[in-house]
A and B are shown apart, each in its own frame.
Chain A
Amino acid sequence: MLMLTCPNCGVTGEESEFAPGGEAHLKRHGPGSSDEEFHAYLFAKENPRGVHFERWRHANGCGKWFHAARCTATLEVFGTYSAQTTEPPKDIKDKISAKRPGWSWREVE
């Protein structure tokens, strides 16, 4: 069972308390962007087998959004953090680097 800790209210719960919200840290493109950029924003998913950054909502709790860093191959959660950021905080990145040698932030853009 997947356990997550909501960084907004501090509650740790099992996954049925949370609603998954897809890939995080997307660069939003809108009017004025090229077709390529807009397509990439909407559809081109990273979908990695490994470290994944994603949005979650504490749906049956405080109701707020947050981010999680998780491994899709083992279901290990590296940590959760505020949704008000464009990239993961340093402590989360360091933790992932320690556990997944060779990993680096956004090597595939």
Chain B
Amino acid sequence: MKRYSAFAVAREAFRYHMGWERAWASPEPKKKYDAIIIGAGGHGLATAYYLGKNHGITNVAILEKGWLGGGNTGRNTTIIRSNYLQDPSAAMYEKSRSLYETLSQDLNYNIMFSPRGVMMLAQTQHEVRGYTRTAHANALQGVDTEFISPERVKELCPIMNIEGPRYPVLGALWQPRAGTARHDAVAWGLARACSAMGMDVIQKCEVTGIRQEGGKVSGVTTNRGDIACDKLGIVVAGHSGQLAEMAGFRLPIESVALQALVSEPIKPCMDVVVMANTVHGYMSQSDKGEMVIGGGADGFNNYTQRGSFHHIEETVRALCETFPVINRLKMLRQWGGIVDMTGDRSPILSKTPLGNCFINCGWGTGGFKATPGSGWGFAELMAKGQSPLCDEFSLDRFKEGRFIDESVAAGVAH
């Protein structure tokens, strides 16, 4: 892999940019790998990356039924924060946020991490109490957050109407080190790094069956033939239920559509991310100038990557009240992704009933922010059979009643 640098740009400028090589290879699948990862979204790729980087396991294939990052990784609104309530979540999300800070350098690929700050508005007394509690919990966890006044909210985000008639802004939970990153670049940068370590990123390769021998996984069946492996990682977000069925178990997961939209691009008017959980909406401005808007998940099981119009309508209606300036903007694009929702709104990073088969799923509406941290922990789990970062997120927590309840802390999708 040739390194990207200012020097490389200058060198290529002198030869009509003919020297850029492909960012990653497109190999044919081998007969057997030490480890196979199903799903080349951010989490699958990050798992492979840290399997190689931290554990020296590089005979790895990442199998993707569509194209790189074409799942939720390429469909999310890119909010990165770690101001969760429970300790296991704070550990995971803060690890991830801190890995994001240096990910561009680590990957030699600009993922455009922008720690512009994220605020979660408190618009009811209940939320004021809830977020004050979270701020205290974060202080104990070593996560840098603060409960700020309405005046400070207005100062940080002047386009906001903090005197909304129905839901006035009473304060906000502010995490200055939170922000956004370029989602496609995260997938591409990780794929390039994996490919450079000799791993096979194989697109248009759909897993249709999981083969087992004596209670252990022995390989997968795909539309490009059978591939054997010693260890298997299932990292397919909304499709986890399908893969679990192939492996012979069920998950505490339901797949539903989550939508987002962007407006036509306008001049810079907002340099923070604002989330308003009570009214189910959040907004940030992309580098291109579009207002990036998301809301809550749809209510029923759905695999179509298209959501219901009334959800979009509700989100936009609420945001128009909080941000009157967006009233006249036109919508440019709208899309949906299939998110994997668990009962406690926390992910699953776990061994499974099938030997040597591991699963990383349940990130639901908020896993982009966790991409590097999840890969870090899950790679350790796959390599060593145990990982402190993942311990609490095991599948049997549901049986044992050890929920990691983030449904209150994160009332809205993000």
Point out residues on A near B: beta carbons under 8 Å: 1-2, 15-16, 19-20, 22-23, 35-36, 39-40, 42-49, 52, 54, 70, 72-75, 108
Minimum CB–CB distance for A23 against chain B, Å:
8
**Is the pair B308, A15 in contact by a Cβ cutoff of 8 Å?**
yes
**Is the pair A2, B308 in contact by a Cβ cutoff of 8 Å?**
yes
Number of interface residues of B (CB under 8 A): 22
Cβ proximity bits B270-311 to A, threshold 8 Å, 1 near / 0 not: 000000000000000000000000000001111110001110
With a 10 A CB-CB cut-off, give which of B242, B251, B301, B304 has the most chain A CB atoms.
B301
CA–CA, A43 and B397, complex, Å: 11
CA–CA, A45 and B342, complex, Å: 10
Closest 7 CB pairs of A and B: A43-B252, A47-B241, A44-B250, A20-B300, A20-B299, A39-B399, A43-B398
Q: B241 contacts which of A2, A45, A70 (Cβ < 8 Å)?
A: A45
**Is the pair A48, B241 in contact by a Cβ cutoff of 8 Å?**
yes
**Is the pair B253, A108 in contact by a Cβ cutoff of 8 Å?**
no
B343 within 8 A of A: yes
Do A1 and B308 form a contact, CB below 8 Å, given A46-B250, A47-B251, A47-B255? Answer: yes
Q: Considering only CB atoms, which chain A residue lies closest to B309 in the complex?
A: A1
Minimum CB–CB distance for B202 against chain A, Å:
22
B245 within 8 A of A: yes
User: Which residues of chain A are within 8 angstroms of B309 by Cβ–Cβ distance?
Assistant: 1
**Is the pair A15, B399 in contact by a Cβ cutoff of 8 Å?**
no
B254 within 8 A of A: yes
CA–CA, A40 and B301, complex, Å: 18
User: Which residues of chain B are within 8 angstroms of A108 by Cβ–Cβ distance?
Assistant: 245
Minimum CB–CB distance for A41 against chain B, Å:
11
Q: Considering only CB atoms, which chain B residue lies closest to A47 in the complex?
A: B241
Cβ proximity bits B372-410 to A, threshold 8 Å, 1 near / 0 not: 000000000000000000000000001100000000000
**Is the pair A54, B301 in contact by a Cβ cutoff of 8 Å?**
yes
Starting from the known contacts A15-B310, A42-B343, 15 additional A-B residue pairs (CB-CB under 8 Å) come to A1-B308, A1-B309, A2-B300, A16-B308, A16-B310, A20-B299, A22-B254, A43-B343, A45-B253, A47-B253, A48-B241, A54-B301, A72-B302, A73-B304, A75-B302
**Is the pair A72, B301 in contact by a Cβ cutoff of 8 Å?**
yes
CA–CA, A73 and B305, complex, Å: 9
Minimum CB–CB distance for B257 against chain A, Å:
10
